[in-house]
Amino acid sequence: MLSSLSGCVDVAIFHRSVPDLIYSGITGRDCSVVRLDEGDSYCAPVALPPKPPLYCTRSLGRVDCWAHPELVANLPPQVAQGPHDGSQQLSEEQNRNRLARWPADLQ
């Protein structure tokens, strides 16, 4: 009875069972039977890097946005003033967190 109670506590606190914790620790991925119960895959998918933001410029009476501003000749300044040098990418720390093995906060 005590072992079944501890299994419930593991799932209630950690949202995964002890075997899930072991498997997640070995593989470095976030895996849980709770995800299966919710209809998801056993392990969380690896996060993809975010898409770069659109480059938006003023036009006559509207705003035009470009996914590939490097292809536009005589590119005017952006509507929202931000970095114009393509540095909208993730910082090193953000990318390190995105790619960290599970559990990232225990490393």
Q: How confident is the model at residue 5 (pLDDT cuts 50, 70, 90)?
A: very low
Per the structure, the complete domain to which residue 54 belongs is given by 49-81
Two tokens, residue 72: 């536009």
Report yes or no on 102 lying in a domain. Answer: no
Reported as a single tens digit per residue, the pLDDT across 28-55 is 888 888 888 889 999 988 878 878 778 8
Reported as a single tens digit per residue, the pLDDT across 57-83 is 888 888 888 888 888 788 888 886 544
**Tell me, what's the pLDDT at 35?**
87
Report yes or no on 43 lying in a domain. Answer: yes
Report yes or no on 68 lying in a domain. Answer: yes
**Tell me, what's the pLDDT at 70?**
84
Q: Is 42 found in the same domain as 6? A: yes
